[in-house]
Amino acid sequence: MNSSSYQNLIQRSEEIALYSSTSALLGWDQETGIPKKGLNYRADQCAFLGGKAHQLFTDPLVGDWISSSEDEGSFTDSTELANLREWRWSYDRAVKLSTEFIEEAERIRSHAMSAWAESRKKNDFKIFSPHLEKIIKINQRKAESYGYSDHPYDALLEGYERGSRTEMINELFDGLKPALREIGEAAAHKSANSSSQALKGDFPINAQEKFNQEIAKSFGFDFDAGRIDEAVHPFCSGIAPGDTRLTTRYDANDFSSSLYGVLHEVGHGLYEQGLPVEKFATPSGKAVSLGIHESQSRLWENHVGRAPSFWKFWYPRAVHFFPSLQEITQEEIISSTLRSEPSFIRVEADEATYDLHIILRFEIEKDLISGDLKVAELPECWNAKFMEFFGLRVENDADGCLQDIHWSMGALGYFPTYTIGNLGAAQLYAKAIEDDPEISNQLNGGEYSKLLDWLRIKIHSKGSVLLPDDLIKDATGESLSESYHLKHLQSRYL
């Protein structure tokens, strides 16, 4: 039975959600269309909204309501218990940061994102460097405020993937590295006779938009509750109930770049659209972690979108939109899609090499946070690690340390969730097929409803009722394991 304190927490969460969703809308607008001269005031707007939401949540009354609800001990509903668990965890962290700190961080972030976009476009690290200095310092201060036992990166990682620690990720990545390198080398050798130019040509952007939208709709993305726009870096923003926005970027010479950007973001979007709408303002209605979120995007992008069966179905529609593809056989498209070789850009990397991009970023950003690596040393460090990991010489920073938006967003601690997501995607996909073999037959025919229904029941509808590993265990019967991902890579590439 809900107490008055619990009801007060619900009402406060609903009020905070109005600020947060408005801020998310302004953030989307900043990435897709804000005039350059509007940036300064936009930074103030985001700082104001972030500060107001923080003030509302860190109000001592909220702490009293949480404690009162906990003391009652009369809650048995899993949703109510999850809300209390998440409110307690979030409140205990939030009160360690002042409203002034939140406002300062929002201003720094807004200016840094704009500087990053310009820096990447002009291939000039010096434009972004002073902003990244501020980003690192604000994250170091945040880590110190939150507190940690072993490494300051722990405090940041916890915000994206509950229960994870730097040492855990170190051990996971150290264990994966040898197998990933072996798979990557073998996959590149196998792909040696596959042309890297097969998917190059003249692909009008308006045709790409129509093709991408048709596939996204077939996957189950609701365009009455969402849209696709263009941005420097693809992303998904679950702004509010009935409003989930995706972005991609276009290359008129390579339609696969925007396509796989959309398929990745559609995975995020399907998760957002599948969360319980009536619980939007409360913790139980939110995605539980970035690792779980990435498991959805990587599942649809790779296990569905890169499977040979995908192109066996979609090849005729691709030819319809891009007549020049008549010169390429279905088998050549499949071969090109599964082609593997070391490459510079993470979001365009093949599955066999992708996780090495993540491990590289993890090693760099934890050293930035610890202070072992200075911002001025970043390009040189990046280039040296890239040569070590991939055997490639980075010729410009736009293809190197400037390629990702995450650091400009202040999102240090985010990158490990991509590989955690890969592990989850493989495990969930294998279990879905085991539970309902008819899913495979549907996928072969370009029908995706059974797979989406399984994910809706097992993952999306759960929100944050279960913590990440408990959610994976509940859906698959076991804790998260790297074995499914490695088996998938070996099967697909070797």
Sequence ranges of the domains in the chain: 4-147, 166-493
Q: Has residue 417 got a pLDDT over 50?
A: yes
Read off the pLDDT of each residue in 339-364 and give the average, rounded to a whole number: 95
| Minimum mean pLDDT range among 75-79, 354-358, 466-470 | 75-79
Q: What is the mean pLDDT of the chain?
A: 95
Element (H, E) at 41: helix 39-58
CATH of 166-493, one of 1.10.1370.30, 1.10.1040.10, 3.10.20.600, 1.10.150.120: 1.10.1370.30
| Whole-number Å distance between alpha carbons of 406 and 72 | 41
Look up residue 108 and give its amino acid.
I
Q: Which of these, 350, 321, 320, 313, lies nearest to 218 by C-alpha position?
A: 313
Read off the pLDDT of each residue in 179-207 and give the average, rounded to a whole number: 88
| Whole-number Å distance between alpha carbons of 243 and 21 | 10
| Whole-number Å distance between alpha carbons of 230 and 240 | 20
| Minimum mean pLDDT range among 6-10, 119-123, 193-197, 435-439 | 193-197
CB within 8 Å of 384: residues ≥ 6 apart = none
pLDDT score recorded for residue 2: 59
Sheet holding 226-230, edge to edge: 226-230, 243-248, 236-240
Q: Which residues are catalytic?
A: 265
| Whole-number Å distance between alpha carbons of 256 and 38 | 33
Q: Has residue 198 got a pLDDT over 80?
A: no
Q: Has residue 383 got a pLDDT over 60?
A: yes
Q: Which of these, 477, 355, 488, 366, lies nearest to 421 by C-alpha position?
A: 355
Predicted confidence band of residue 277 (pLDDT cuts 50, 70, 90) = very high
pLDDT score recorded for residue 73: 79
pLDDT score recorded for residue 76: 87
Q: Indicate yes or no: pTM above 0.85.
A: yes
Q: pLDDT tens digit string along 469-494?
A: 999 999 999 999 999 999 999 999 88
- Check: CB of residue 195 under 8 Å from CB of residue 324: no
